[in-house]
Chain A
């Protein structure tokens, strides 16, 4: 599963620390999400989507083999 977190973060000039604080996770989790090493839970995906004012599917890109 890919995501646009890093892109959105840079577009909105948000640091990893600020995003981590806003969605109640550690900065390391944001780094792992951006690197694609970790997939967010539904709850975290919802928090991130809410933070950027977007829908979950606008941020997290499901591919054929994810489904």
Chain B
């Protein structure tokens, strides 16, 4: 399985290198955000659950980002592996699969959130409202991105 977001435009190793370098910066920012979240949660957490939840999440993001940074750096140093990874990430069939899988996953999440909102409506109206807001936010973002891409294509 390739990544959820294909880097569809890299036609050479050099182009893919610049994409990887940009990704390393993004991963570094994510690692810092994750570490900061963990530290703040441990220092200022209201209770065990809150501090555990946020420190766990932050640590997870930080570790995952570091792993991706190491992986990207190793790829940058090995032309053969870089090419293999580029083909996997930029291959048009893989991108088409990723697109279809994302659509199916979005539909699945949509249905799951809708069902969860109905169940939670009986117990906790706040959770139900938040869940419905997530669906509304998705629809709004979809409309915004539709307009952006329709003006570009």
Q: A residues touching B (Cβ–Cβ < 8 Å)?
A: 20, 24-26, 28-29, 32, 38, 40-41, 43-44
Contact = CB atoms under 8 A, between A and B. Distances in A.
Interface residues of B, number: 9
* Across the A-B interface, the 6 shortest Cβ-Cβ residue pairs: A29-B93, A26-B91, A25-B91, A26-B87, A38-B93, A41-B92
Interface string B56-93: 00000000000000000000000000000001101111
B11 A26 contact: no
A28 B97 CA distance: 12
A26 B94 contact: yes
A38 to B, nearest CB: 5
A26 B88 contact: yes
Nearest to A41: B92
Contacts of B88: 26
20 contacts: A20-B87, A24-B11, A24-B87, A24-B90, A25-B87, A25-B91, A25-B92, A25-B93, A26-B87, A26-B88, A26-B91, A26-B93, A26-B94, A28-B91, A28-B93, A29-B94, A32-B93, A38-B96, A40-B92, A44-B92
Contacts, number: 26
A32 B91 CA distance: 12
A44 B87 CA distance: 13
B42 to A, nearest CB: 44
Given A28-B93, A29-B94, 16 more contacts: A24-B11, A24-B87, A24-B90, A25-B91, A25-B92, A25-B93, A26-B87, A26-B91, A26-B93, A26-B94, A28-B91, A29-B93, A32-B93, A38-B96, A41-B92, A43-B92
- Of A20, A24, A25, chain B has the most CB atoms within 10 Å of the CB of A24
B85 to A, nearest CB: 11
A24 B3 CA distance: 18
- Of A20, A28, A44, chain B has the most CB atoms within 10 Å of the CB of A28
A24 B13 CA distance: 11
